[in-house]
């Protein structure tokens, strides 16, 4: 889906009419979520669980943060497995992701990225997924998303917030981008990671610090020097905030001839691929996209336009570069130690 413009009004503090009209639906959404969490009896996994989530619908940068945290934990000798819902995929699981056989239509795009870092499990039922991961050898579970899911006990929860977007108009879905009230989310957060540049996230960061919750800043960058093709590029993306991807490319020195945005988790069709290939030829430009978009172009028939697009497109892999990450990892390690003593 595309985020409605009234979720993030140009003038801070203004509330568009549409948001006001949808406010009752937001109250119902928020109340239902609170009741679900209040009545739930979370199960404890046999291993520690670290959750990386967000408070808003749409992209805040949680997957790069999850990948960075998992890589750091694995470097310390932890047997890290990912657990995720697999948004956009048909599999309900529990199922271990196999990039050689699964496509985005099976398990979603994000699990394919995660599986390149550590064993990854897709499960609509998180406790069942955690149990399957433990049977599969997990010594520690990193959940990508699931902050609002109350079925599994989390031992450390990181709330990821886009520094440039913040919490938008501060209202609940569908009146605004919030998945739950800010105070409710902060009551369960162990740490906040602000991603990107900007000041829209300063408000929630200040509220977190007032509660004694540590706040960390991060930017998203390639883990190694990026291949930008050496010429003009047509950049396209179907993620929560495509403009963040385009801004990253410009900051890396890419020559952007044109950008094309699609809704988050967009499944590319043949006409999309043809349009992008033709436009790139008209511009005399190369093509570049995100890892998530590239995952959605995988497992397509060799003769299809989507396969030709995949073969002609550069991919920009990214990780979250978190300032003072050693402190964050120390907090996580302490939480893991406490969980193992229980």
For tokens 């950008």, the residue is: 259
**125-163 confidence digits (pLDDT tens):** 999 999 999 999 999 999 998 999 999 999 999 999 999
**Which backbone phi and psi does 169 adopt, to 5 degrees?**
-80, 0
Radius of gyration from C-alpha coordinates of the chain? 20
Among 299, 282, 195, 209, residue whose Cα is nearest residue 247: 195
pLDDT band at 13 (very low <50, low <70, confident <90, very high): low
Question: Model-level pTM greater than 0.75?
Answer: yes
Distances, alpha carbon 33 to alpha carbons 88, 247, 321, in Å: 21, 34, 32
May I ask the CATH class of domain 49-220+321-341? alpha beta
**71-96 confidence digits (pLDDT tens):** 999 999 999 999 999 888 899 989 99
Query: Residue 208 half-sphere exposure, CB side, CA atoms within 13 Å?
Result: 24
DSSP state for residue 53 in the 8-state scheme: E
Give the mean pLDDT of 300-323: 92
Reply yes or no on whether the pLDDT at 1 is more than 70: no
pLDDT band at 190 (very low <50, low <70, confident <90, very high): very high
Boundaries of CATH 3.40.50.300 in the chain? 49-220+321-341
Domain 232-317 has CATH 3.40.50: yes
**274-291 confidence digits (pLDDT tens):** 999 999 999 999 999 999
**Which backbone phi and psi does 31 adopt, to 5 degrees?**
-65, -45
């Amino acid at each position: 889906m595309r985020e409605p413009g009234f979720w993030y009004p140009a003038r801070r503090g203004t509330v568009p009419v549409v948001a006001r009209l949808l406010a009752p639906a937001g109250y119902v959404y928020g109340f239902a979520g609170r009741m679900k969490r209040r009545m739930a009896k979370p199960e404890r996994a046999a291993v520690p669980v670290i959750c990386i989530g967000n408070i808003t619908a749409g992209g805040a940068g949680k997957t790069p943060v999850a990948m960075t945290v998992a890589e750091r934990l694995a470097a310390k000798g932890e047997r890290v497995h990912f657990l995720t819902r697999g948004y956009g995929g048909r599999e309900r699981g529990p199922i271990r992701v196999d990039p050689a056989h699964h496509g985005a239509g099976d398990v979603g795009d994000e699990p394919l990225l995660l599986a390149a870092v550590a064993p990854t499990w897709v499960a609509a039922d998180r406790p069942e997924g955690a149990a399957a991961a433990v049977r599969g050898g997990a010594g520690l579970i990193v959940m990508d998303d699931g902050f609002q899911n109350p079925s599994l006990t989390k031992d450390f929860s990181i709330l990821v917030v886009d520094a440039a977007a913040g919490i938008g108009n501060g209202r609940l879905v569908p009146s605004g981008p919030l998945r739950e009230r800010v105070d409710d989310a902060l009551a369960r957060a162990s740490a906040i990671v602000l991603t990107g540049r900007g000041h829209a996230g300063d408000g929630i960061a200040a509220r977190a610090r007032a509660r004694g919750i540590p706040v960390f800043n991060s930017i998203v960058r390639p883990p190694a020097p990026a291949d930008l093709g050496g010429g003009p590029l047509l950049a396209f993306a179907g993620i929560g905030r495509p403009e963040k991807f385009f801004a990253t490319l410009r900051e890396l020195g890419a020559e952007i001839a044109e950008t094309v945005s699609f809704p988050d988790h967009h499944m590319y069709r043949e006409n999309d691929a043809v349009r992008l290939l033709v436009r790139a030829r008209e511009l005399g430009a190369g093509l570049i996209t995100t890892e998530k978009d590239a995952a959605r172009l995988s497992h397509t028939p060799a003769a299809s336009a989507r396969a030709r697009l995949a073969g002609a497109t550069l991919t920009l892999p990214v990780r979250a570069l978190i300032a003072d990450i050693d402190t964050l990892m120390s907090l996580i390690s302490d939480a893991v130690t406490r969980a193992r003593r229980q």
